[in-house]
């Protein structure tokens, strides 16, 4: 968890909220590429550069 020391984080016990970083690009792309997400959040569609 040390790599997140410079990011704004909120530790809620079972959930850790933090700002996005460049390391999150692949995971965010996979998340926003799911049809279930695109159905309800069409503006979240992203493209890999």
Q: Mean pLDDT score of the chain, rounded to an integer?
A: 82
Beta bridge partners of 22: none
Contacts of residue 40, defined as CB under 8 A and 6 or more positions apart, other chains included, come to: none
Tally the C-alpha atoms within 13 A of residue 16's C-alpha that lie toward its C-beta: 8
Of 46 and 27, the one with more pLDDT: 27
- What pLDDT score does 15 carry? 92
- What pLDDT score does 14 carry? 93
Of 47 and 35, the one with more pLDDT: 35
> Is-above-0.85 flag for pTM?
no
> What would the 3-class secondary structure string for the chain be?
CHHHCCCCEEECCCCEEECCCHHHHHHHHHHHCCHHHHHHCHHHCCCCC
- What pLDDT score does 44 carry? 76
d(CA 12, CA 41): 26
């Amino acid at each position: 968890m040390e790599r997140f020391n410079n990011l704004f984080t909120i530790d809620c016990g079972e959930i850790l909220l933090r700002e996005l970083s460049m390391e999150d690009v692949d995971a965010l792309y996979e998340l926003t590429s799911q049809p279930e997400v695109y159905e309800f959040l069409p503006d979240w569609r992203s493209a890999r550069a």
